[in-house]
Amino acid sequence: MSATNGRDRPKTKAVVLTTAATLMILATIGAGVQPALAAPSSAGTAAAGAAGTVDWYVAPDGTVDYEHSAALAYEFLDDRVDEYCSADGMCLPRSYQGGFFSTPDWEFTSSFVYDDALIVMAYAARGLPDDIRRAQSIGDALLFVQQNDPDFSDGRTRASYQPASLRAGAVEIGSSASNTGNQAWVGMALARLFDVTGERKYLDGALRLADWIQQNTADTEQAPFGYTGGQDADGNPFTFKSTEHNIDVAAFFTQMSALTGDAVWADRAAVAAGFVAAMQTEDGHLWTGTHPDGVSTNYYPIPEDPQTWSYLATLDDRYASALAWTVENLHATDGPYAGPAFSSADVSKVWFEGSGQLALALRTRDSAGDADYTQSILASAELAQRQAANGDGRGIVASSSDGLDTGFGDLYYSSLHTGATAWYLLAVTGYNPFRLAVDPETPTVPSPEGEGEGVAPIADASDDVLAESGSEAPVVAIGIGGFALLVGVTLLRRRHAAR
């Protein structure tokens, strides 16, 4: 287990057959978060992210039909979702297929909940009736595994599950850790489904996950304050703090504040956001997080996703420099493919999940030079869709070739991957998964304590919380904290404008 893992993924076949080695760190500052008074960018992508809004990417040179490419990618996801479903319509799609994960006598079928959450977001991006139906089939499966964990009844989910078990009405765990980042991603997917469908069961599931994170991972005793990494299979705590996890938590808790009207979630989001601010360097990039002591900074390796997600989740210019750092320091070329690597540990291969993240962030920022680089990495991903080893002409492979070293003890392979495909779709549809639309005509749901409807009045930012954050950048932390507190109110006012 690295000090920053946010989700699990297979590393070697031997590990896959047991617990499927831990996969990287995935985070999200303020899912559903957007600066309070941010104006739409010239490309219009700042308004993207609301349900039913598709801002198809158009190649400046007109060489690729990305809407057609997306249709093929959706077909791939449809097949994966429909492959393992229960009689009552619960579905969990396998995450990886082909190449390393398929042999004549062995097939890896685990469904990683982070990937499942991304598929829900990708379906929400296009928003067709069958898309929402499939997204709900995943959401219902996630609620089922949450409610029927064989060992715990505290609202957690695990890193991955064996999808075929749903057909027998059972829960078979693949990788059994309960990483904080995974809880937040599942929570954001359920929150998205509540936002899209209005079905209260999804919000209830999301709140159980939020409560689990708060009760089991909050650390306001050791600076820099934030949220720790979760728990292992036996409930033992992971004591590191991950930048990615804290982005996730800030994002997810901001959504909970917006949907429930309970400002306590915004206060908690501010703590996580303060940790992220403390991890930013003078040159703009973000460190990985802390070591297991929860205090000392983990400087190596430097992963790509905190750089892109910090900007996508906040649209704050302070994190635009992290995008520039990524383009300059993590660019990889591997044969005909080009794009970001997973981390500074290995820049010899392209990580296509990261290509989608970076392309979406650059589309959203829309600064000088962004369009050219966006076109180059999306064209490379589309080329991989058509001709990558172990591909099928529809899905996107995880890595441009086998053996991409994450630097956290894991490897990526050139195998079809639902997560990489979903991020590609988010990029070409212009859909920011960290933004949450809340309809002003729809009353927010009362908090579980029955404290009334609507968003509670928020006066000033939670300066007390952030002043005690232990951040080495208190001014930055307070700024982000104020944003996290205010965004819940702002989101209620912006849904029609976003749509």
pLDDT score, position 426: 98
pLDDT score, position 8: 58
% of the chain exceeding 70 in pLDDT: 77
Inform me whether the pLDDT recorded for 462 exceeds 70: no
Residue 135 to residue 74: CA distance in whole angstroms: 12
Considering the domain boundaries, does residue 1 fall inside one? no
Residue 227 to residue 222: CA distance in whole angstroms: 10
Neighbouring C-beta atoms of residue 130, cutoff 10 Å: 11
Which residue did the predictor score with more confidence, 441 or 494?
441
Residue 350 to residue 227: CA distance in whole angstroms: 30
Burial 185-206 (b: 16+ CB within 10 A, else e): bbbbbbbbbbbbeeeeebbebb
Considering the domain boundaries, does residue 114 fall inside one? yes
Domain count for the chain: 1
Considering the domain boundaries, does residue 40 fall inside one? yes
Residue whose token pair is 């989910």: 157
pLDDT score, position 80: 98
Considering the domain boundaries, does residue 89 fall inside one? yes
Considering the domain boundaries, does residue 2 fall inside one? no
% of the chain exceeding 90 in pLDDT: 73
Hey, what are 178's tokens?
A: 């309960």
pLDDT score, position 313: 84
Segment 104-123 mean pLDDT: 97
DSSP code of residue 444:
P
The domain that holds 127 is classified in CATH as 1.50.10.10
Segment 287-292 mean pLDDT: 98
Segment 171-191 mean pLDDT: 98
User: Across the chain, what does the average pLDDT equal?
Assistant: 82
Task: Grade residue 437 by pLDDT with cuts at 50, 70 and 90.
Answer: low
Task: Grade residue 31 by pLDDT with cuts at 50, 70 and 90.
Answer: very low
Structural domain boundaries enclosing 141: 7-498
pLDDT score, position 452: 38
Considering the domain boundaries, does residue 297 fall inside one? yes
Segment 240-261 mean pLDDT: 94
Considering the domain boundaries, does residue 193 fall inside one? yes
Residues 6+ positions from 22 with CB-CB distance below 8 Å: 1, 2, 5, 7, 8, 9, 159, 175, 177, 179, 408, 409, 410
Considering the domain boundaries, does residue 422 fall inside one? yes
* Residues 194-221 pLDDT 10s: 999 999 999 999 999 999 999 999 999 9
Which residue did the predictor score with more confidence, 289 or 3?
289
Hey, what are 359's tokens?
A: 């392309």
Count CA atoms within 13 Å of residue 301 on its CB side.
Answer: 22
Segment 368-378 mean pLDDT: 96
pLDDT score, position 459: 28
